[in-house]
């Protein structure tokens, strides 16, 4: 005898509880009512008459209880669905037991699943395929499902369940969520799938994917149902922003665009800026375009571009590549066309001016935005430590300490040996490619005199006079530990300060020294477990993800926070209880070349759909438990009938 329904141990517990309840109900039912009568002797005479049948009455009550218990036992047995080993003995045709199957349905939720063709995404087609598979096996009572999403890691959406409606609901929820902005990690999935399927009868895993990931050297633990489409793709490969090196309030933008098509394509790179934007959707709006640039991306290649002198306000920037609509190709995955960046903060440039007070010099320095200028005499000079640039004007000071030095008409020293004086030098050549002198024009400089300083190997002359006399040059000592920019003449002995080029040259000189060049904020990837240094005040850290209103707590260990973001955008972090302005911004981007490559290259073993199990057709009441149920109902009716014939009070 085998039990096809509720297992025997559960039946035993249920049987005990039911028997107890039935006995209790029976006792309550046969409990006598108390009736007061005026003249009992008349009744008692009758009782004497009926005493002969008392034993029979008791037996009837016992029979009633036994009937109730028999009914309960029959119903429980029906729920247990007992099947004799040899059903033919009872006249039933032998039944074929349905095959036990454990099927893990993995739905690829990586970014490439959002690739669209004919208005349907790969993800939608994957879910539809999973639904078809479930529907095909809905008749098998031994078919168990588990639904899981698969990105960088596997996330179960159900437990093992025989209820196909539960599986359907999980798929519907998955469909509503859509794919994420992350790549797929098949290696991690391998381990998890093996663990989930271990020791289960008829176990298999099916991955519904587009196959857009690199093939594994080892065989996969799952078979696949690949849904793909013939589509090309342009994707953002890199994107970052830094303040301009020229000391202006502009920024330099670095962007790289990858072309996955077999031919070069023209595209437009657009930049968006918005103060409170967090998701790509927040950025992409015509009103928020900062600038744009036409680019041509080579076939199967990358186009890197730097956009200088970009002006915008705010601390958040996004770039979006848009394929030229005239091109007969399709950009299949829109979500990798956008990348975001956090604009690094500008910090003031610390400059010290050493030497006699000179209005021309100090005034030209102050034309730079964001400068923190300190003026001191040669006697007060204590070295370049603590300053980004040290400007030394006609003063003999120690230049041996590592630092950035801007020397104006320097006196002779070990580093700058004077050869002679060049009277009335005339500017003959200006290096306009150098950042210091880029775009400058020195006309009618009327320099009275200049010092000819002995050149050294590695010197880079920016302004030269006739005869090769270097008027402005740079010198790098000790492998860059000391950088010198030398003006070999005194501005007071020329008309240079009266030209607009002079303050520009001073500003560009400082920018050349500027440490802003190191101010790139690194970009990070979605889906990865991040460990980010933070300067937030101590305490729990909260995070608001792009597109989310609710905040989530972030795990903080010391001065680092750890989290995983699944969506491209700007993530805001702040300490609980801190000021709203004290926020740290972290930009997460997809920027995964492998994920943006949309062709099927995973080489998955195709999933072979087994033949759906069909329950054998049997005439009613073919099943033994149905027969038991009929018997139970018959007994119930019989008991009711006899009880109400006998006792109706």
Q: Residues 215, 245: contact at Cβ < 8 Å?
A: no
Which of 17, 21, 40, 553 is close enough to bind another protein by CB under 8 A? 40
Instruction: Report the sign of the C-alpha dihedral through residues 310, 313, 319, 320, in that order.
Output: negative
**In this complex, which beta carbon is closest to another protein, that of residue 31 or of residue 423?**
31
Shortest Å, Cβ 42 to another protein: 6
Q: Of 147, 162, 159, 163, which is closest to residue 106 (Cα–Cα)?
A: 147
Shortest Å, Cβ 640 to another protein: 15
Which of 1, 9, 28, 36 is close enough to bind another protein by CB under 8 A? 36
Q: Of 323, 291, 304, 327, which is closest to residue 257 (Cα–Cα)?
A: 304
Which of 1, 9, 28, 37 is close enough to bind another protein by CB under 8 A? 37
Which of 2, 8, 12, 43 is close enough to bind another protein by CB under 8 A? 43
Number of residues that bind another protein (CB under 8 A): 25
Instruction: Kindly calculate the radius of gyration of the chain based on its CA atoms and give it in whole angstroms.
Output: 43
**In this complex, which beta carbon is closest to another protein, that of residue 64 or of residue 390?**
64
Lookup: tokens for 374: 């300190």
Which of 47, 132, 201, 357 is close enough to bind another protein by CB under 8 A? 47
**In this complex, which beta carbon is closest to another protein, that of residue 61 or of residue 449?**
61
Shortest Å, Cβ 636 to another protein: 20
| 423 in contact with another protein (CB under 8 A) | no
Q: Residue 340: beta bridge partners?
A: 318
**In this complex, which beta carbon is closest to another protein, that of residue 160 or of residue 641?**
641
Which of 39, 433, 478, 529 is close enough to bind another protein by CB under 8 A? 39
| 529 in contact with another protein (CB under 8 A) | no
| 648 in contact with another protein (CB under 8 A) | yes
Sequential DSSP letters for 559-603: TEEEEE--SSEEEEEEETTS-TT--EEEEEE---HHHH--S--S-
| 46 in contact with another protein (CB under 8 A) | yes
Which of 28, 45, 118, 529 is close enough to bind another protein by CB under 8 A? 45
Residues contacting residue 108 through CB under 8 Å, at least 6 positions apart: 123, 126, 150, 151, 179, 184, 207, 208, 209, 210
**In this complex, which beta carbon is closest to another protein, that of residue 423 or of residue 644?**
644
Rounded CA-CA distance 72/306 in Å is 82
Which of 2, 24, 44, 456 is close enough to bind another protein by CB under 8 A? 44
Beta strand ranges found along 172-315 (DSSP E): 203-209, 223-226, 234-243, 251-259, 265-273, 289-297, 302-310
Instruction: Report the sign of the C-alpha dihedral through residues 505, 506, 507, 508, in that order.
Output: positive
Looking at residues 116 to 175 of the shown chain, list those that interact with another protein (rule: CB under 8 A). none
**In this complex, which beta carbon is closest to another protein, that of residue 381 or of residue 643?**
643
| 35 in contact with another protein (CB under 8 A) | yes
Supply φ then ψ for residue 59, to 5 degrees.
-65, -35
**Cβ burial 12-31 (10 Å sphere, 16+ → b, else e):** eebbeebeeebeeebeeeee
| 640 in contact with another protein (CB under 8 A) | no
**25 half-sphere exposure, CB direction, 13 A CA radius:** 13
Rounded CA-CA distance 555/563 in Å is 7
Q: Residues 515, 483: contact at Cβ < 8 Å?
A: no
**In this complex, which beta carbon is closest to another protein, that of residue 37 or of residue 359?**
37
Q: How far is CA 444 from CA 96, 424, 501, in A?
A: 106, 11, 11
Piece of 105-113, 344-352, 608-616, 640-648 that binds another protein (CB under 8 A): 640-648
**In this complex, which beta carbon is closest to another protein, that of residue 456 or of residue 646?**
646
Shortest Å, Cβ 38 to another protein: 4
Q: Residues 442, 496: contact at Cβ < 8 Å?
A: yes
Shortest Å, Cβ 65 to another protein: 14
**In this complex, which beta carbon is closest to another protein, that of residue 39 or of residue 423?**
39
State in Å, rounded, how far the first CA of the chain is from the last one.
Answer: 44
Give the 3-state secondary structure of 403-468: EEEEEECCCCCCCCCEEEEEECCCEEEECCCCCCCCCCCCCCCCCCEEEEECCCCCCEEEEEEHHH
Which of 1, 9, 28, 38 is close enough to bind another protein by CB under 8 A? 38
Which of 42, 55, 217, 533 is close enough to bind another protein by CB under 8 A? 42
Binding mask 587-626 for another protein (x = CB under 8 A): ----------------------------------------
**In this complex, which beta carbon is closest to another protein, that of residue 13 or of residue 44?**
44
Shortest Å, Cβ 25 to another protein: 15
Shortest Å, Cβ 634 to another protein: 25
Q: Residues 265, 296: contact at Cβ < 8 Å?
A: yes
Shortest Å, Cβ 642 to another protein: 13
Shortest Å, Cβ 27 to another protein: 12
Binding mask 15-34 for another protein (x = CB under 8 A): ---------------xxxxx
Shortest Å, Cβ 41 to another protein: 8
Binding mask 248-277 for another protein (x = CB under 8 A): ------------------------------
**Cβ burial 220-259 (10 Å sphere, 16+ → b, else e):** bbbebbbbbbebbbbbbbbbbbbbbbbbbebbbbbbbbbb
**In this complex, which beta carbon is closest to another protein, that of residue 46 or of residue 443?**
46
Looking at residues 48 to 107 of the shown chain, list those that interact with another protein (rule: CB under 8 A). 49-50, 57
Q: Of 266, 265, 287, which is closest to residue 275 (Cα–Cα)?
A: 287
Supply φ then ψ for residue 336, to 5 degrees.
-95, 10
| 649 in contact with another protein (CB under 8 A) | yes
**In this complex, which beta carbon is closest to another protein, that of residue 46 or of residue 533?**
46
Q: How far is CA 641 from CA 73, 270, 612, 627, 645, in A?
A: 20, 86, 47, 21, 6
The H or E element containing residue 249 is: none
Note the residues at the interface with another protein (CB under 8 A).
30-47, 49-50, 57, 646-649
């Amino acid at each position: 005898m085998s039990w096809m329904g509720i297992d025997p141990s559960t039946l035993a517990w249920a049987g005990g509880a039911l028997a107890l309840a039935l006995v209790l109900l029976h006792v309550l039912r046969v409990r006598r009512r108390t009736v007061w009568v005026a003249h009992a002797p008349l009744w008692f005479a009758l009782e004497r008459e009926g005493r002969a049948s008392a034993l029979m009455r008791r037996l009837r009550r016992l029979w009633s209880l036994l009937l109730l218990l028999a009914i309960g036992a029959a119903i429980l047995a029906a729920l247990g669905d007992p099947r004799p080993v040899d059903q033919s003995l009872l006249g039933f045709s032998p039944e074929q037991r349905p095959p036990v199957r454990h099927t893990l349905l993995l739905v690829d939720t990586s970014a490439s699943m959002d690739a669209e063709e004919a208005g349907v995404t790969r993800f939608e087609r994957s879910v539809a395929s999973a639904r078809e598979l479930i529907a095909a096996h809905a008749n098998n009572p031994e078919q168990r499902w588990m639904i899981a999403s698969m990105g960088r890691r596997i996330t179960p959406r159900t437990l093992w369940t025989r209820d196909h409606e539960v599986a359907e609901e999980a798929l519907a929820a998955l469909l509503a969520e859509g794919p994420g902005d992350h790549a797929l990690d098949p290696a991690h999935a391998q381990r998890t799938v093996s663990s989930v399927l271990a020791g289960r009868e008829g176990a298999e895993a099916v991955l519904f994917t587009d196959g857009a990931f690199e093939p594994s050297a080892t065989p996969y633990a799952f078979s696949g149902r690949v849904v793909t489409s013939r589509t090309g793709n342009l994707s953002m490969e890199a994107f970052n922003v830094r303040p301009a090196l020229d000391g202006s309030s502009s920024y330099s933008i670095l962007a790289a665009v990858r072309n996955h098509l077999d031919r070069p394509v023209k595209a437009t790179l657009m930049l968006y800026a918005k103060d409170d934007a967090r998701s790509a959707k927040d950025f992409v709006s015509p009103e928020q375009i900062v600038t744009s640039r036409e680019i041509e991306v080579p076939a199967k290649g990358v186009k890197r571009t730097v956009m200088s002198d970009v002006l915008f306000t705010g601390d958040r920037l996004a770039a979006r590549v848009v394929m030229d609509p005239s091109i007969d190709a399709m950009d299949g995955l829109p979500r990798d066309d956008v990348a975001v960046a956090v604009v690094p903060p500008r910090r003031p440039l610390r400059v010290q001016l050493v030497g006699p007070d000179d209005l021309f010099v100090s005034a030209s320095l102050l034309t730079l935005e964001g400068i923190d200028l300190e003026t001191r005499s040669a006697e007060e000079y204590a070295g370049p430590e603590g300053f980004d640039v040290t400007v030394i004007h006609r003063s003999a000071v120690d230049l041996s300490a590592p630092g950035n030095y801007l020397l104006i008409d320097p006196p002779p020293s070990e580093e700058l040996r004077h050869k002679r004086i060049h009277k009335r030098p005339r500017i003959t050549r200006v290096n306009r490619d150098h950042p210091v002198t880029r775009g400058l024009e020195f006309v009618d400089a009327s320099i009275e005199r200049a010092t000819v300083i002995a050149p050294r190997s590695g010197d880079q002359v920016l302004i030269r006079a006739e005869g090769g006399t270097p008027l402005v040059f740079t010198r790098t000592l000790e492998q860059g530990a000391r950088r010198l920019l030398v003006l070999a003449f005194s501005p007071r002995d020329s008309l240079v300060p009266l030209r607009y080029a002079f303050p520009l040259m001073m500003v560009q000189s400082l920018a050349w020294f500027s440490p802003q060049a190191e101010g790139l904020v690194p970009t990070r990837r979605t889906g990865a477990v991040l460990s980010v240094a933070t300067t937030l005040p101590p305490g729990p850290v909260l995070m608001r993800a792009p597109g989310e209103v609710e905040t989530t707590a972030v795990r903080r260990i010391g001065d680092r926070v750890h989290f995983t973001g699944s969506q491209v955008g700007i993530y805001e972090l702040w300490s609980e209880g801190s000021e709203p302005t004290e926020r740290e911004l972290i930009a997460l981007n997809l920027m995964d070349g492998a994920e943006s490559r949309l062709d099927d290259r995973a080489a998955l073993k195709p999933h072979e759909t087994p033949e759906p199990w069909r329950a054998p057709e049997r005439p009613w009441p073919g099943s033994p438990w149905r027969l038991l149920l009929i018997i139970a109902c018959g007994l119930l009716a019989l008991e009711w009938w006899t009880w109400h014939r006998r006792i109706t009070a």
